Structure 1
Amino acid sequence: MAGGVSLQVSRNDAFFYQEGGIGSGDGHCRAFDAKASGTVSGSGLVVLVLKRLEDAIRDGDQIHAIIRGVGINNDGSEKNSFTAPNVDGQAECIVEAIEMSGVDPETITYIDAHGTGTDLGDPIEIAALTKAYRAYTKKKQFCAIGSVKTNIGHLVTAGGLASLVKTVLAMKHRVIPPSLNFEEPNPKIDFINSPFYVNTKLSEWKTDGFPLRQVLVPLE
């Protein structure tokens, strides 16, 4: 069993606005948007049942999703700030997960990102994802990206698990939920020359015959 919980007494109990900080100035999380000024807090509880694949198959369990790879690191003194990674460190972490998974990144067609809507964090995240993907493909704008924080806020210790539940349910229903509050890209993010685009509407999740695959970048 793996779980996390976040309980906020008020809407912005955890994040207050300060220019350049994590708290949103207008009460909305606008991940990757030009008007983004931070995120908002949220409350939630998530519990997952994790099991080795061979054991789940043996026991006849209903399998909702398979975790093929993970990446964990700490770029220490190379961080951009106390709470923000640098591009190289995050890219290495993503590549580690891709290599462990053994899948072609061109078949990974959705990413639920950290996406806090901060001026510092969002450009770093897309730059790191782009660097990681560019080790495998030059293809542009084929992978949808979004952030559950635009829907329910930042669940802090339950944030990564919330992203996981969102994407597993998206796989089940074969749809990609919209990332909200996105109108115009952050000018510091070069989406046009990246493998990614922000998914802004409920979309049918289609592939060219390969399984539905996605990446989580929770950084919790």
Structure 2
Amino acid sequence: MDNPSPRADEGTALRRATQTIKQLRAQLAQQDASGPIAVVGAGLRLGDGVRDLDAYWSVLAEGRNLISDMPFHRRWPFEDEWDMLPSRGSFIGDALDFDPEFFGISPRAAQAIDPQHRLLLEVSWEALAHAGIDPAVARAEIVSVFVGITGRHDYADWARQQTDAHWALGNGHSFAAGRIAYTFGFTGPAVAFDSACSSSLVAIHHAVGSLRRGESDIALAGGVNLVLSPGSTRAINHTGSLAPDGLCKTFDARANGYVRGEGCAMIVLKRLADAERDGDRVLGVIHGTAINQDGRSSGFTAPNADAQRRVIEAALADARRTAADIGLLEAHGTGTALGDPIEVNAIVAALGARNGGRTLHVGSAKANLGHLEAASGVVGLLKALLCLRERTVPPVANFHTLNPRIELEGTAVRISGNGATWSLDESGALAGVSSFGIIGTNAHAIVGPPPAHTPAVTEVPRPAWNRVTCVPSFLGTAPRATPALR
């Protein structure tokens, strides 16, 4: 018999190696089916120039809110329409700016790409850099991308019927995740999720599952929300959900709606065992997640307290923890007169009534930032990690008098407008994070502090972004942001 050719030998070796990899991944998936997931990096953009975790913590610790009138340059090209709508919120002043050359995108294509997608590219790069992972070489690993993005295609309104191929590829929600994967060369799953306000926490839930199953080694997960045209605000205003005074007064007796906010956050996730093996700095640990649906509640958009209770209990079960382990809950907390009491009742049923007498602190970043909609879940999770880091419960902004529909007497729940020290003798050591979508999709995550000894990390330096205003050229020259907003 003739000897096999070298090419055949190579093919056999490749098949054997592939089979070995599959077997190892199957073993890993079985071993880590409910294993902890490490948060090893984060990228963040919020209103008022907040661009990192320390700046975000300063806002929370001081009980500040970032609500202001919409900057004049952001009203363009819809000035007349904005005059007839609520236009207070928290805004990213330079949200229309982008560095297309850095990402290998032509200026013409960049003008047609939804600024939410452009922001996700930058923040994803910054999240990887924060983790000490060079985005240029991260493709050597199997990296997945899970993005929460929702709402109307606001930026398409700017085209005014002058669409072309660039606009077709630049504005669909699915392209938000795909463009990140394409730009960085990532080959793991890349999926955009739209479950309304719970989108980013739903994305994180699926990222955790992807890592546990062994189908990816690193996961980027998070969400984005920008207010780019009056259309979405007009639709929300018709529902009566927006607060007339432009403040989100979560849990307060004055609660009468929320205010819209802008933000983008992406986190970098690894299996905890891998992060420890690789010497990564760990910001916190996700122990469990869960999602469910309200089903048939009192109305299509009405919250369901029983479903909210069950999603918290399911996340606890996934984390293999009990109610007594939770010392802080970052609530959905939109500041509506009806929604807040329903949520607190669910919290009491799931955690507050069975907390062994230990204090359960409850708050919501929406009081500081407004409702970041698709980005609210990931920003709430980052707040919980910061509270764990500082062992401090920040004040609930705009909170003065408890909503009379909320009954806390005899429960472990505490809501404070002054903040508190997070004492492990008085409260559990973990935090829960809730995010609920108006379509009825609920999500919850259980997070904890990093291991006792987590190493420092050498972050990848941020580039000197050459950011320019990228808007459709056929609309003329866009106004620039004022220096105070830059």
The TM-score normalised by the length of structure 1 is: 0.89
Residue 135 of structure 1: how far off its partner (Å)? 7.0
In the TM superposition, what whole-angstrom CA distance separates every residue of 1:40-84 from its partner, at most 9, and x where no partner exists?
01111101001111111111111111111112111222x233223
Say whether the 8 Å CA contact 1:17–1:25 is kept in structure 2: no
Bigger strand fraction: 2
Superposed displacement of residue 99, structure 1: 1.7
SS in 2 for 1:216: strand
Which stretch shows the higher mean deviation, 95-104 or 204-213?
204-213
Asked whether the 8 Å contact 1:22–1:116 carries over to 2, the reply is: no
CA distance in 1 between partners of 2:309 and 2:247 (Å): 28
Residue 170 and residue 10 in structure 1: after superposition, are their counterparts in 2 closer, same or farther (change >3 A)? farther
Tell me what 1:72 maps to: 291
Q: Match for residue 184 of structure 1?
A: 401
Cα distance, 1:136–1:210 mapped onto 2, change above 3 Å? closer
Greater per-residue helix proportion? 2
Q: 1:121 to 1:211 in 2, by over 3 A?
A: closer
Q: Distance in 2 between matches of 1:150 and 1:143?
A: 19
- The change in CA–CA distance for 1:110 and 1:155 in structure 2 (over 3 A counts) is same
Q: CA deviation at 1:176?
A: 1.5
Q: 2: CA distance between counterparts of 1:10 and 1:32?
A: 30
Indicate the SS of the match to 1:106: helix
Q: Which runs of 5+ in 2 are unaligned?
A: 1-219, 438-486
Q: Where do residues 93-112 of structure 1 align in structure 2 (5 Å cutoff)?
A: 93-112=311-330
Per-residue deviation, residues 80-101 of structure 1 (Å, max 9, x unmatched): 3322331111111111111222
Distance in 2 between the 1:151 and 1:58 partners? Answer: 37
Which residue in the other structure is 1:89 paired with? Answer: 307
The answer to whether the 8 A contact 1:21-1:118 is kept is no
Shift in Å, 1:32: 0.8
Alignment pair present for 1:46 and 2:265 = yes
- Assess, with a 3 A threshold, how the Cα gap between structure 1 residues 213 and 138 changes in structure 2: closer, same or farther: closer
- Partners of 1:70 and 1:100 within 8 A in 2: yes
The 3-state SS of whatever aligns with 1:72 is strand
**Contact 1:17-1:24 at 8 Å conserved across structures:** no
What secondary structure sits across from 1:2 in the alignment?
A: strand
Is residue 2:348 matched to residue 1:130? yes
1:215 to 432, 443, 454: 432
- Of residues 246, 268, 274 in structure 2, which corresponds to 1:27? 246
CA distance in 2 between counterparts of 1:40 and 1:94 reads 26
Using the size of structure 2 for normalisation, the TM-score is 0.42
Q: Match for residue 151 of structure 1? A: 368
Partner of 2:282: 63
| Greater C-alpha Rg | 2
Deviation, 1:17, is 5.1
Q: How many residues align?
A: 217
- Where 2:285 maps in the other structure, the secondary structure is coil
Instruction: Point out where structure 1 has 5 or more consecutive residues left out of the alignment.
Output: none
Alignment-derived partner of residue 199 in structure 1 = 416
The one-letter amino acid paired with 1:52 is: R
Aligned partner letter, 1:203 = A
CA deviation profile, 1:1-59 (whole Å, cap 9, x unmatched): 01211112489x737656x8321121111111111001101111101001111111111
Q: Give 1:134 shift.
A: 5.9
Kept in 2: contact 1:73–1:93 (CA 8 A): yes
Q: Shift of the alpha carbon at 1:209?
A: 9.0
Q: What percentage of residue pairs aligned between the two structures are identical?
A: 38
Alignment root-mean-square deviation, CA: 2.4
| Structure 1 pair 135–180 and aligned structure 2 pair: CA distance change class (3 A) | closer
Partner of 1:116: 334
Q: Is the 8 A contact 2:305 2:342 kept in 1?
A: yes
Q: 2:233 aligns with which of 14, 18, 33?
A: 14
* Aligned residue in 2 for 1:170: 387
